[in-house]
Structure 1
Amino acid sequence: CSLKDGTPTKAAISQILQKNFEKLPDLDQKLFTLGPFYLAGNAGLAGLISNSLYRRALNIHAARLASSLPMAVLPFLTTSALYSATVSQPLLSGDLNCPTCAMIRGALVGVVGGAVYPIVLALPLNIGLASRYSTAPLPGKGNLLRYCVDVSRPVLNKMRAVVLLQAFFGTYLGSRNFETYFKLARISFGQNEELQED
């Protein structure tokens, strides 16, 4: 499948890249396919840490498993899907040809999906538990936003290292995945040819 001038279509490029993926070195294949799961695993761990910090801040001792399970699973699934949709699949389809873009996308997925989302997700969950078990005095409806900010400030300060780690790991993973894509493009289209953006 090619255009009139002989250049392959995006669908043909994607098919060629996926077909030649098996020709890559084993380490590159594993990093490309399993790397996002490590980033997602870190996101699940960030969810558990932020959940624990909010539980301590709000003096919650009940429902440990009920609050920990979604805080590990949801960030894991979200980060994995987000990385696949924004970095892995665009690389394999030939739509992402910029190394800086791959690194920035990886960093954003690491920060947003792997650190900020678990923190934001833990807040309403634990405020709901604090309300249900009456472990911390909750304000009226007018002061709820200010209360959330006050409760979240120490949690965010303690989670800075996690945010930086996720940003670093997302950047590294995006960079390595682009290197893998570049090797794959060389295998698929030859050493001297470059992919043309449609």
Structure 2
Amino acid sequence: MHCARGVSIKYHETHTHNEAKEKVHSSHSFRNLLENGSVYVGLNAALCGLIGNSLFRRVLNVTKARIVSALPMAVLPFFTTEVTYRGFVNFPLITELIYFLGDLNCETCTATRSGLVGLLVGGLYPVFLALPVNGSLAARYETALLPNKGNILSYWIRVSKPVFRKMLFPILLQTVFSAYLGSKQYKLLIKALHLPEPGQEIH
């Protein structure tokens, strides 16, 4: 009797999961946003990397090796942010709402996590990455007077301040966009699965 009940429950859960996946796949708007959302965040991160790279090149008077510095500043932030967003937002969101195994079960949680990914990985990381890339080029081509060993930290802080000041708006924009995207994905998935909003009762 217990065995039959267990099989019945397992069948019901499997049927529910399959039905939920079919609903998600049939929702064109959510599928499109789910597949391309992390790409949008990654592209914004690549743009932040290119802007930060350009600003550091100006500060350090680096005029050579444009492609050498621009290529990693676009590629690395894009892939790092895209993979991080998928791993920390997309995957937990789907596993929670379809399989009940994730840890994103509210819109605020999703927006907060996606916003943090946008801030730390999609905004700050590209700018910090631009510092050693262009610092090494400045040392190689001797375009800037680099400090002695004792003044390295204070020198790079002074050099970075105007760059981070100018990057404040792109970083904030990336953060807000990522948070909005996560919130939108959550709402679309709730709608695709025909689930009630948190706090609402099922009638």
Query: The TM-score by the shorter chain falls in which range?
Result: 0.7 to 0.9
Q: Give the Cα–Cα distance (whole angstroms) in 2 for the partners of residues 7 and 100 of structure 1.
A: 31
Query: Which residue among 117, 121, 128 is the counterpart of 1:120?
Result: 128
Partner of residue 85 from structure 1, selected from 79, 84, 87: 87
Matched with 1:40 is 42
Counterpart of 1:75 in structure 2 is 77
**1:62 paired residue number:** 64
- Sort the Cα spacing of 1:130 and 1:117 in 2 relative to 1 into closer, same or farther, 3 A: same
Matched, 1:164 2:166: no
Query: What TM-score, normalized to structure 2?
Result: 0.84
The 1:30/1:147 distance shift into structure 2, 3 A limit, reads same
Q: CA deviation at 1:120?
A: 0.4
Q: 1:31·1:177 contact (CA, 8 Å) conserved in 2?
A: yes
Identity %: 42
Once residues 39 and 148 of structure 2 are traced to their aligned partners in structure 1, the CA distance between those partners, rounded to angstroms, is 41
**Aligned-residue CA RMSD (Å):** 2.5
Task: Give the equivalent residue in structure 2 for 1:129.
Answer: 137
- Unaligned 5+ segments in structure 1 are 194-198
Bigger mean CA deviation after superposition, 7-16 or 118-127: 7-16
Contact in 1 for aligned 2:24/2:189 (Cα 8 Å): no
- Cα drift, residue 140 of structure 1: 1.2
Query: In the alignment, which residue of structure 1 is the partner of 2:114?
Result: 106
Unmatched segments (≥5 aa) in structure 2: 97-101
- TM-score with structure 1 length normalisation? 0.86
Larger radius of gyration: 2
Distance change (3 Å), C-alpha of 1:15 and 1:109: farther
Matched to 1:86, the amino acid is F
Contact 1:14–1:92 at 8 Å: present in 2 too? no
- Cα distance change on mapping 1:135 and 1:97 into 2, 3 Å: same
Aligned residues: 187
Residue 13 of structure 1: how far off its partner (Å): 6.9
User: Which residue of structure 2 lines up, in the alignment, with residue 29 of structure 1?
Assistant: 31
Maintained 8 Å contact 2:24/2:30: no
CA deviation vs aligned residue, 1:150-174 (integer Å, no higher than 9, x gap) = 1100000000110110111011101
- Equivalences for residues 139-154 of structure 1 within 5 A: 139-154=147-162
| Cα deviation 1:55-78 (Å, max 9, x = unaligned) | 000000110000000000000001
Partners of 1:18 and 1:92 within 8 A in 2: no
- With over 3 angstroms needed to count, the CA separation of the structure-2 counterparts of 1:150 and 1:181, relative to structure 1, is same
- SS of the residue corresponding to residue 60 of structure 1 reads coil
